[in-house]
């Protein structure tokens, strides 16, 4: 069977996808093992022949595994800990392998894998994963970082906001991301780092597109607030210090 | 000269979707038309784009450890035998 790798290579630009709903709990539904006899031979469910099994293994090792880095870096930001990230990715990959027959080839494999990752994360971190506490966010501060740095640059008689941005170290950015509540963090990572479309993110995280947009909006504002705080304490953005 | 301020407000409302490439071609040209005429809006858009890029660059740099890759493949091999 020819496999349209060109489609997968397009990654996030492909918005149409068919994600099979995954069970909430791992193991709730079992894909028949390769050696199981077909339940009803007269139906279309043919036994898995050795060549199909080889094909499936090859698909996993070549196509699925190439998304390992992306899954890992997302898991790392979500768990904030390398060991937990490895555990999360391992479980994700094992589930992906178990449910591989449900993946419709030619659809968006990356999105399918991220959906499994998200579900697995929620199962593991159910308590913290749903924490919505961002009520303290001041809605008036829409482009807080920009206005803060711009005002400052103007007071110094120059336009240095870009240089100030470049002074953020990798660890500052990661810390600001990791400080976001999980739902916002996942949404921002899927959009800004992984480049998924709103529709894909809605499918991956199981919410409406409008919710994706508002999570992105608020998540990015929270991120900027956190960057301002870091810039102030590092001393390269003075601003309203006492 | 035309008052661009109402247009600024409309354009800024579209900033997120513009930078996320979620607008239609027509909407994109409307936004770009305004940005060509309005340096303050352009500056804001560029800034916001830079922040996104910083996030992307710094968060995309981590790679999975080789040991993780090997362990996953080993566990799958074991799972297949059972």
Q: What is the pLDDT of residue A47?
A: 56
CB < 8 Å to B71, chain A: 90
Find the mean pLDDT for residues A47-54. Answer: 69
What ipTM was predicted for this assembly?
0.91
Cα atoms found within 13 Å of the Cα of residue A170, Cβ hemisphere only: 8
Q: b/e string for A13-27 if b means 16 or more Cβ within 10 A? A: ebeebebeebeeebe
Domains and CATH numbers, chain A: 48-128 (1.10.1740.10), 144-234 (1.10.10.10)
Output the six-digit token pair for A88: 């999360």
Render pLDDT for A88-135 as a digit per residue (tens, 0 to 9).
999 999 999 999 999 998 899 999 999 999 999 999 988 766 655 555
Phi-psi region of B65 (alpha: psi -120 to 50; beta: other; left: phi over 0): beta
Q: How far apart are CA A191 and CA A179, in angstroms?
A: 17
Domain that holds residue B17: 5-81
Q: Are A75 and A88 in contact (CB under 8 A)?
A: yes
CB < 8 Å to A93, chain B: 72, 76
- Number of domains chain B is built from: 1
Output the pTM of the full model.
Answer: 0.78
- Smallest Cα–Cα separation from A3: which of A112, A104, A84? A104
Task: Using an 8 Å CB-CB cutoff, list residues of chain B that contact chain A.
Answer: 16-17, 20-22, 43-44, 47-48, 50-52, 54-56, 58-65, 68-69, 71-73, 75-76, 79-80
Render pLDDT for A182-238 as a digit per residue (tens, 0 to 9).
999 999 999 999 999 999 999 999 999 999 999 999 999 999 988 888 887 877 665
Minimal Cα distance from A227: which residue of B? B51
User: Average pLDDT over chain B, rounded to whole?
Assistant: 91
End-to-end, the C-alpha distance of chain B in Å comes to 77
Contact flag A198-B52 (C-beta cutoff 8 Å): no
Q: Are A80 and A52 in contact (CB under 8 A)?
A: no
Contact flag A213-B59 (C-beta cutoff 8 Å): no
Residues 195-234 of A with CB under 8 A from B: 197-198, 213, 216-217, 220, 223-224, 227
Q: Which residue stretches of chain B have pLDDT < 50?
A: none
């Amino acid at each position: 069977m020819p496999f349209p790798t060109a489609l997968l290579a397009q990654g996030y630009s492909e918005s149409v996808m068919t994600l099979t709903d995954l069970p909430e709990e791992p193991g709730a539904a079992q894909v028949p093992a390769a050696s199981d006899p077909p339940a009803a031979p007269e139906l279309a469910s043919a036994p898995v022949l050795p060549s199909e099994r080889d094909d499936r293994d090859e698909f996993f090792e070549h196509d699925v595994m190439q998304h390992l880095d992306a899954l890992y870096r997302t898991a790392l930001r979500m768990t904030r800990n390398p060991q937990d990230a490895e555990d999360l990715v391992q479980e994700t990959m094992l589930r992906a392998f178990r449910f591989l027959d449900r993946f419709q080839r030619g659809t968006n494999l990356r999105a399918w894998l991220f959906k499994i990752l998200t579900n697995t994360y929620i199962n593991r971190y159910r308590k913290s994963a749903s924490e919505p506490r961002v009520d303290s966010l001041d809605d008036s501060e829409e482009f807080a970082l920009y206005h803060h740095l711009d005002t400052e640059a103007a007071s110094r008689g120059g336009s240095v906001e870009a240089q100030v941005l470049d002074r953020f170290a990798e660890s500052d950015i990661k810390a600001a991301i990791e400080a976001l509540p999980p739902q916002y963090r996942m949404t921002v990572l899927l959009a800004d780092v992984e480049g998924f479309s709103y529709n894909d993110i809605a499918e991956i995280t199981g919410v409406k597109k409008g919710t994706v947009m508002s999570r992105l909006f608020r998540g990015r504002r929270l991120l900027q607030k956190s960057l301002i705080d870091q810039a102030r304490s590092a001393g390269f953005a003075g601003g309203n210090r006492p | 000269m035309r008052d661009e301020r109402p247009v600024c407000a409309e354009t800024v409302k579209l900033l997120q979707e513009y930078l996320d490439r979620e607008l239609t071609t027509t909407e994109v040209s409307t936004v770009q038309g305004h940005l060509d005429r309005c340096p303050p809006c352009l500056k804001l858009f560029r800034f916001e784009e830079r922040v996104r890029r910083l996030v992307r660059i710094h968060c995309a740099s981590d790679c999975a450890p080789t040991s993780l890759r090997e362990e996953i493949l080993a566990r799958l091999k074991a799972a297949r035998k059972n």
